[in-house]
Structure 1
Amino acid sequence: MPETNWDFNETGVFDWIERELKPEPCTSEEFVYNEMESQSGYSLPVIYQPFDAGNKWHWSDRGMLFDFLYSTDGEGKKLLDFGPGDGWPSLIVAPFAREVIGVDSSEKRVKVCTENARRLGIRNASFVSYKSGSSLPFEDNTFDGIMAASSIEQTPDPRKTLKELFRVLKPGGRIRIFYEALSDYKGGYERDIWIVGMGNRTCKLVLFNRDPDNEYALQYGLTIAMPGRELTERLSDGGEVSFEKVSVSFLEEIKGIITRAQVLKTIHPSAKTWISWLKETGFKEILPAYSGGMAAVKLFDLYTDDNRPSDLDSTDEAIKKVVRIVTGLEAPVSLDPMITTVK
Structure 2
Amino acid sequence: MFANDRSGREKSIFEWIGRNLSPESCTSEEFIYNEMESQSGYSLPVIYQPFDASDRWHWSDRGMLYDFLYSTNGEGKKLLDFGPGDGWPSLIVAPFAMEVIGIDASETRIKVCTENAKRLGINNASFVSYKPGTELPFEDNTFDGIMAASSIEQTPDPRKTLEELYRILKPGGRIRIYYEALSDYKGGFEKDIWIVKLSESACKMVLYDRDWENEYALQYGLTVDIPEEELKERLSGGKEEIRFDQVSVAFLEEIKNRISRAQVMKTIHPSGKTWVSWLKAIGFKEVLPSYSGGMAASELFDLYSDDNRPSDLKSVDEAIKKVVKIVTGLEAPIDFDPMITAVK
Given the two structures, how large is their TM-score scaled by the length of structure 2? Answer: 0.97
Matched length: 338
After the TM superposition, which of the residue ranges 333-342 and 250-259 deviates more from structure 2? 250-259
Distance 1:66 1:253 in 2: 49
- Show CA shifts across 1:19-49 (max 9, x none): 1111000000000000000000000000000
Which whole-Å CA distance do the structure 2 matches of 1:290 and 1:236 have between them? 38
The 2-side partners of 1:294 and 1:62 are apart by 10
> SS at 1:196's partner residue?
strand
Distance 2:240 2:137 in 1: 46
SS in 2 for 1:320: helix
The match for 2:39 is 39
In structure 2, C-alpha distance between the alignment counterparts of 1:26 and 1:284, rounded to whole Å: 35
Alignment map for 1:303-314 (pairs within 5 Å): 303-314=304-315
* Partner in structure 1 of residue 89 of structure 2: 89
Q: Matched residues in 2 for 1:118 and 1:324: separation?
A: 30
Residue identity opposite 2:153 in structure 1: E
Any stretches of 5+ residues in structure 2 without a counterpart?
1-5
Corresponding residue SS for 1:126: strand
Q: Does 1:133 align with 2:133?
A: yes
1:247 aligned to 2:274? no
- The aligned amino acid for 1:75 is E
* Aligned partners of 1:23 and 1:262 also within 8 Å: yes
SS at structure 2 position matched to 1:252: helix
Distance of aligned partners of 1:8 and 1:215 in 2 relative to their CA distance in 1, 3 Å threshold: farther
Query: How many Å separate the matches in 1 of 2:262 and 2:32?
Result: 12
What amino acid is aligned across from residue 47 of structure 1 in structure 2? I
In structure 1, the residue matched to 2:278 is: 277
Name the CA distance, whole Å, in 2 between partners of 1:256 and 1:9. 22
Residues 11 and 247, structure 1, Cα contact 8 Å, conserved in 2 = no
Task: Give the CA deviation at 1:8.
Answer: 6.8
Letter in 2 for 1:298: E
| Aligned equivalent of 1:3 | none
**1:215–1:267 CA contact under 8 A, matched in 2:** yes
Once the 2 structures are TM-superposed, how far is the Cα of residue 11 of structure 1 from its aligned partner? 5.2
2:80 counterpart residue number = 80
Q: Is the 8 A contact 2:235 2:251 kept in 1?
A: no
Give the Cα separation in 1 of the matches to 2:70 and 2:166: 19
Distance 1:195 1:321, change over 3 A: same
**8 Å contact kept, 2:202–2:228:** yes
Alignment of 1:230-241 (within 5 A): 230-236=230-236, 238-241=239-242
| Structure 1: 4+ residue segments shifted above 3 A | 6-11
Residue identity in the other structure for 1:216? Y
Q: Secondary structure at the match of 1:137?
A: coil
Match of 1:301 in 2: 302
Cα offset for 1:280? 1.2
Show the counterpart of 2:228: 228
CA contact (8 A) 2:222 2:262 kept: yes
Aligned AA (1:336): D
Secondary structure of the structure 2 residue equivalent to 1:41: coil
Deviation at 1:64, TM superposition (A): 0.1
Shift of residue 288 of structure 1? 0.2
SS class of match (2:80): strand
Query: Does residue 268 of the first structure (1) align with residue 272 of the second (2)?
Result: no
Give, in angstroms, the shift of residue 232 of structure 1. 1.1
Contact 2:105 2:131 (8 Å CA) reproduced? yes
| Matching residue of 1:327 | 328
Cα shift readout 1:27-78 (whole Å, capped 9, x = no counterpart): 0000000000000000000000000000000000000000000000000000
Partner residue in 2 for 1:256: 257
1:296: Cα distance to partner? 0.1
TM-score, with length taken from structure 1: 0.97
Alpha carbons 2:64, 2:292 under 8 Å: kept: yes
Q: Distance in 1 between matches of 2:72 and 2:146?
A: 7
| 1:127 counterpart SS class | strand
Q: Distance in 2 between matches of 1:236 and 1:67?
A: 39
C-alpha distance in structure 1 between counterparts of 2:341 and 2:264, whole Å: 32
Percentage identity across paired residues of the two chains: 77
How far did 1:10 drift? 3.7
SS at structure 2 position matched to 1:111: helix
* SS, match of residue 213 in structure 2: helix
| Structure 1 partner of 2:58 | 58
Q: Structure 1 residue 290 and structure 2 residue 291: aligned?
A: yes
Q: Does 1:182 align with 2:182?
A: yes
Structure 1: runs of 5+ lacking an equivalent: 1-5
SS in 2 for 1:214: coil
What letter is aligned with 2:159? Answer: R
CA shift, 1:236, in A, is 2.4
Give, in angstroms, the shift of residue 12 of structure 1.
1.1
